[in-house]
Structure 1
Amino acid sequence: MTGLLPAPGLTGLLLGTTPPGTYRLPPTDTAPRVTALAAEAEWRAAALRLGGVTTKTAFLDRCATDLEFPEWFGRNWDALADCLTDLSWWREEGKARGYLLVTEDWAAFRKAAPKEARTAEAIFGDAVDYWADAEAPLAVLLG
């Protein structure tokens, strides 16, 4: 279940005082602002733009494009889970303090494809749990 980002909000998440999780993006924040703040805090961040996405196929295609998944991404739920538990595709030179996935237009996607949104949210949650105790955790903000 996705909840509100607890106080102190994004700052707490990026500083490590708020545990990594799958949270709703506060309505006062935007994906570009959040990804910029994450970069300043030495987190790797990516925005998943879901405007106009209404199907599983379109969702997985958008993941492949926006998140720059590797060629081996099979465009299915298992492959999404694999990419989110093997972040080698996301790593760059240097060390990241964490990884942040921010979605845009999540509510519209959830309304258009509720079953697919629940599945994606479960996969996000499992990936967050997988990285929770790592030196560089994963967090997801659904906006």
Structure 2
Amino acid sequence: MSGLAGILAGHHAPGVYRWHAAFGAADVKHTVEHAGWHFTRVDGVGVEDKQALMDAFGSALAAPDHFGRNLDALRDVLRDVEGRLVVLWDEWGPFARADRPTFDAVTDIFAERSGRGDLAVLLRGEGPDIPLPSLD
């Protein structure tokens, strides 16, 4: 978990990264929480449209019942997250292929929010070539 460990220890800046590590989600969660960060996971299997993606992120981020299921609502929920958070987005590739404009907008929202220094988003799994750094 070297790249992730660097973020958790403050040696790498939080941000949005591709991550190819094969650790189980429970192991990643344990490592993240042991370092004092919060953890959530989005399982991208079967998520190939915007509404399914918003549902997945709304659930993972414990969005309130009035969550609007759109990009502005996602931005609002992320703004209200307290503490340091790692989001593991497994199997992001199918969504990125199916709706690249929304995928790019979502990763832009994550990148913007990670500028506070307390959000890391790890895109794990195969997907299209995207201009994001690798944490490996």
Under TM normalisation by the shorter chain, which class is it?
0.7 to 0.9
Give the equivalent residue in structure 1 for 2:64: 70
Instruction: Report the counterpart of residue 99 of structure 2 in structure 1.
Output: 113
RMSD: 1.7
What is the TM-score normalised by the length of structure 1?
0.78
Query: Distance between the aligned counterparts of 2:24 and 2:107, measured in 1?
Result: 19
Q: CA deviation at 1:72?
A: 2.9
Q: Distance in 2 between matches of 1:46 and 1:72?
A: 20
Per the TM alignment, residue 25 of structure 1 is displaced from its structure 2 partner at its CA by 1.7
Which digits, 9 at most, give the CA deviation of each residue in 1:9-60, with x for residues without a partner? 1111111111111111223334332222101111101001111011111100
Task: Look up the match of 1:52.
Answer: 46
Q: 1:30 to 1:108 in 2, by over 3 A?
A: farther
Asked if 1:79 is matched to 2:60, the reply is no
Q: Residue type of the partner of 1:15?
A: A
Contact in 2 for aligned 1:47/1:104 (Cα 8 Å): yes
* Aligned residue number for residue 14 of structure 2: 20
Cα deviations by residue, 1:63-120 (Å, 9 ceiling, x for unpaired): 1223221223211100100111111xxx5xxxx5x21111010112212221221111
Which amino acid in structure 2 is aligned with residue 59 of structure 1? L
1:81 is aligned with what amino acid? Answer: R
2 CA distance for matches of 1:21 and 1:102? 12
Summarize the Cα distance change of 1:80–1:45 in structure 2 as closer, same or farther, 3 Å threshold: same
Residue in 2 aligned with 1:142?
Answer: 123
State how far apart, in whole Å, the 2-side matches of 1:24 and 1:30 are. Answer: 16
Task: Give the whole-Å Cα distance in 1 for the aligned partners of 2:26 and 2:18.
Answer: 15
Q: CA separation in 2, counterparts of 1:59 and 1:8?
A: 29
Answer whether contact 1:23 1:141 (CA < 8 A) is retained.
yes
- State whether structure 2 residue 102 is matched by structure 1 residue 102: no
Unaligned 5+ runs, structure 2: 125-136
Answer whether contact 2:61 2:77 (CA < 8 A) is retained: no
Higher relative contact order (CA 8 A, sep 6+): 2
What's the TM-score once normalised by structure 2's chain length? 0.82
